Copies of this chain bind each other. A is one copy, B any other.
Amino acid sequence: MKAEIISVGTELLLGEVVNTNASDIAKALKEIGISVYNIDTVGDNPKRLYEDIEKAYDRSDIIITTGGLGPTKDDLTKDIVADFLKVDMVLDENEVEKLKNYFKNRKDELNEGNMTQAYFPKGYEILDNPNGTASGCVINKDNKIIIVMPGPPREMKPMLKNYVIPYLSKLSSKYFASKTINVIGIGESKMEEMIMELIKHQTNPTIAPYFKDKSLTLRVMASDDDKKTAENMLLPTIEKIKSILNDNIYAYGDDLAIEDVVCKYLMDNNLTVSTVESCTGGMLSSRIINISGISKCFKSGYVTYSNESKIQLGVSEDTLQKYGAVSEQTAIEMATACAKKSGSDIAISTTGVAGPDGGSEEKPVGLVYIGLYINGQTYCKKLNIVGNRQRIRRIATSNALDFVRRTLKMPIYEIN
């Protein structure tokens, strides 16, 4: 089956937004054996959109659009689809209810624009959107499938994964088994170098490295007419990869950040944790607290950005003077003081030079120390991170979490 993607939105033609939707959709389709024939981007222009749909309809089996489902006058995708299919736009009562509740919860009023979001081309099936007011829809007519999704990635991605891919998978006879391997602690090119030989000689299963959402993954995929066979085909390849990347693998499964894995382990083992951050400035605690249910483990977080606040927490002035704020000694004292003050089993500290200023010959921008306290034992890891301030802080945060995983020798996490 051939598919085409039509991305709708003038903001894309103005370069205001990078079109990540197209690559997310293309990748997901590839994994169920549907090849993308074309990706087109049009503005909020009815005539051009109509032409695009016409052309795609003529040469492909599946048309997937993103964008143009908003409440404003220039959001016209559904109208153009209805127009092209020569069907009416009909009001969906459930969607009206959803909208009403949505705005009631926001203590905001439902305006006329929002009401248009409850209209769909006749013959539609709703694709639910828990993250916004614009539901998507599928129209399956005359052996052609038109799928309409919203533009914002945080709305489109769950819809793609939870509704569109399952829907389209049913249409293909082949079964596709796949497993995502999550990697941390090595760079993208390093990983590719390590598994290059393996990738070259793989056909089914295939191995594809992805660097997505700032995390490194390997996607292993096998296809067969039989589900069980396809699934079994994955195993030897995964074993091979494991033997090469060993403890750089932290999880199997999609969308598993390092904090998901570390926090799950802490919750399962009733370990309490606290953080004390200098250069990461709260990013570490923020990522931990983003995990629902962590309240039973997370005790306290301290952002001791200034020396004053480090001293207030319990770092000795001597240490700061003798070794400086960015040092192994300070990192360890920060973690120890944090554990003491919070009474946690585990305390994680970060201190480093995030830049762009403040670097020196001896302590360059990107130098970061991670301190770790675990039930009386202390550990420290030194990092040299390349990049801008934001990247240095982000990588430092991920490595702080990974340092906990490695020190506690957590098993590779897998969702069942």
- Alpha-carbon separation in the docked complex, A384 to B101 (Å): 13
Q: How far is the CB of A189 from chain B (nearest CB, A)?
A: 4
The answer to the question of A280 belonging to the interface, with a C-beta cut-off of 8 Å to chain B, is yes
Does A386 contact B301, Cβ atoms closer than 8 Å? no
Contact of A23 among B18, B37, B105, B384 (CB under 8 A): B18
**B290 A393 Cβ-Cβ under 8 A:** yes
B-contacting residues, A274-298, CB 8 Å: 275, 277, 279-286, 288-290, 292-293, 295, 298
Which residues of chain B are within 8 angstroms of A14 by Cβ–Cβ distance? Answer: 26-27, 30, 36, 208
| Contact (Cβ within 8 A) B300 A107 | no
Q: How far is the CB of A8 from chain B (nearest CB, A)?
A: 11
**Nearest neighbor of A289 in chain B, beta-carbon distance:** B281
Quote the shortest CB–CB distance from A227 to chain B (angstroms): 21
Q: How far is the CA of A131 from the CA of B210 in the complex (A)?
A: 19
CB-defined interface of A297-341 with B at 8 Å, one 1/0 digit per residue? 011111111101100100000000000000000000000000001
Given A280-B286, A298-B306, residue A39 in contact with residue B38 (CB < 8 A)? no
Q: A189-B70, A282-B289, A303-B303 are in contact. Are A15 and B11 (CB under 8 A)?
A: no
Contact A39 B41 (CB under 8 A): yes
User: Number of A interface residues, CB 8 Å?
Assistant: 104
Q: How far is the CA of A162 from the CA of B295 in the complex (A)?
A: 44
Does residue A68 face the partner (Cβ distance < 8 Å to B)?
A: no
Q: A302-B302, A305-B295 are in contact. Are A12 and B17 (CB under 8 A)?
A: no
Q: Which of A381-416 contact B (CB under 8 A)?
A: 384, 386-391, 393
Q: Is A48 an interface residue (CB 8 A)?
A: yes
B72 adjacent to A192 (CB under 8 Å): yes
Partner of A389, one of B70, B282, B290: B290
Cβ-neighbour of A212 out of B17, B36, B341 (below 8 A): B17
A188 contacts the other chain (Cβ, under 8 Å)? Answer: yes
Select which of B15, B25, B154, B283 is within 8 A of A25 by beta carbon. Answer: B15
A22 CB, min distance to chain B CBs, angstroms: 7
Nearest B residue to A387 via CB reads B131
Q: B16 contacts A19, CB within 8 Å?
A: no
Please name all residues of chain B whose beta carbon is closer than 8 Å to the beta carbon of A388 when the two chains form the complex: 130-131, 154
Say which residue of B23, B106, B286, B300 sits within 8 Å of A286 (CB atoms): B286
Chain A interface mostly: mixed
User: Which of A285, A293, A295, A298 has the most chain B CB atoms closer than 10 A to its own CB?
Assistant: A285
Q: Which residues from B are CB-within-8-Å of A219? A: 16
Q: How far is the CA of A212 from the CA of B20 in the complex (A)?
A: 13
**B20/A18 in contact, CB under 8 A:** yes
| A42 contacts the other chain (CB 8 A) | yes
Nearest CB of B to A174, in Å: 17
A366 at the interface (CB under 8 A from B): yes
Pairwise interchain contact B40-A13, C-beta atoms closer than 8 A = no
Inter-subunit contact A286/B283 (CB<8 Å): yes
A83 interface hit (Cβ, 8 Å): no
Question: Which of B7, B189, B208, B292 lies in contact with A355, CB distance below 8 A?
Answer: B292
Bound Cα distance from A102 to B386, whole angstroms: 8
Between-chain CB contacts (< 8 Å), 24 pairs: A10-B208, A13-B26, A13-B36, A15-B23, A15-B28, A16-B27, A22-B41, A38-B41, A38-B48, A39-B40, A72-B192, A108-B187, A130-B388, A131-B388, A281-B285, A281-B289, A285-B303, A286-B286, A298-B303, A300-B309, A301-B303, A302-B302, A303-B303, A312-B341
